[in-house]
């Protein structure tokens, strides 16, 4: 199974993302991400044997992080993967804390989760983004974005099936975020 931890949008946030995607003209051949696949990746796990799923579920259950509101306020284009994105120019501290916790636990269990992998993946700083379109071969003219807010009140473990013509994402489990900053 190919898995990742992510924020999964509610219906209102999904509609805001879809409106943001529709506001950018892209060249022919670009493929917009279906609204049911919108998400914000927190930590990519990778290919994992189904026998290791329980460990990931426990990992998700152990997280204690505050919910937050993310302002998605700009567009970006990444030429190397050829993707159009909606991004947050500022990352809430609570989101950084959750990502740090998840990456820390994944690093501790990396060998048992991905036994065939020779070296662990590079951990890069969190860049808060939602992919709007793929196969965007030509950089689009990026308009100013009408910002919208994503209220992060839970996070999920998600399975990614890329065997078909389009990726299919399935939420495996979801955990609530705290209403306030956790006490040590």
Instruction: Return the domain boundaries, the chain.
Output: 2-176
Please say whether the beta carbons of 137 and 55 come within 8 A.
no
Strands (E), 8-140: 31-32, 40-47, 68-72, 74-78, 83-87, 129-134
Query: What is the token pair recorded at 110?
Result: 């990396």
> Which residues of the chain, if any, have pLDDT below 70?
111-112, 114-125, 180-184
- Give the whole-angstrom CA distance, residue 56 versus residue 45: 9
Compute the Cα dihedral for 65, 47, 122, 21 and give only its sign. negative
- Give the whole-angstrom CA distance, residue 26 versus residue 23: 10
User: For residue 75, how many other CB atoms are within 10 A of its CB?
Assistant: 21
Q: Which fold has domain 2-176?
A: Cyclic Phosphodiesterase; Chain: A, (3.90.1140)
pLDDT at residue number 115: 58
Closest CA to 150 of 34, 20, 45: 20
Q: What angle do CA 129, 177, 130 make, to 5 degrees?
A: 10
pLDDT at residue number 9: 96
pLDDT at residue number 163: 80
């Amino acid at each position: 199974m190919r898995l990742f931890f992510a924020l999964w949008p509610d219906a209102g946030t999904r509609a805001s993302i879809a409106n943001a995607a529709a506001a950018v003209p892209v060249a022919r051949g670009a493929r917009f991400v279906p609204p049911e696949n919108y998400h914000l990746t927190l930590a990519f796990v990778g290919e994992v044997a189904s026998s290791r799923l329980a460990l990931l579920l426990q990992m998700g259950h152990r997280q204690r992080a505050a919910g937050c509101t993310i302002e998605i306020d700009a567009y970006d284009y990444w030429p190397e993967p050829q993707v159009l994105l909606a991004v947050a120019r500022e990352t809430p501290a609570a989101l950084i804390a959750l990502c740090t916790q998840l990456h820390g636990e994944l690093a501790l269990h990396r060998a048992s989760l991905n036994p065939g992998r020779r070296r662990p993946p590079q951990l890069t700083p969190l860049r808060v983004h939602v992919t709007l379109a793929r196969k965007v071969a030509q950089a689009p003219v990026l308009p100013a974005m009408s910002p919208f807010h994503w209220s992060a009140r839970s996070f999920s473990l998600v399975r990614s099936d890329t065997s078909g013509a389009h990726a299919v994402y399935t939420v495996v489990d979801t955990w609530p975020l705290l209403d306030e900053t956790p006490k040590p």
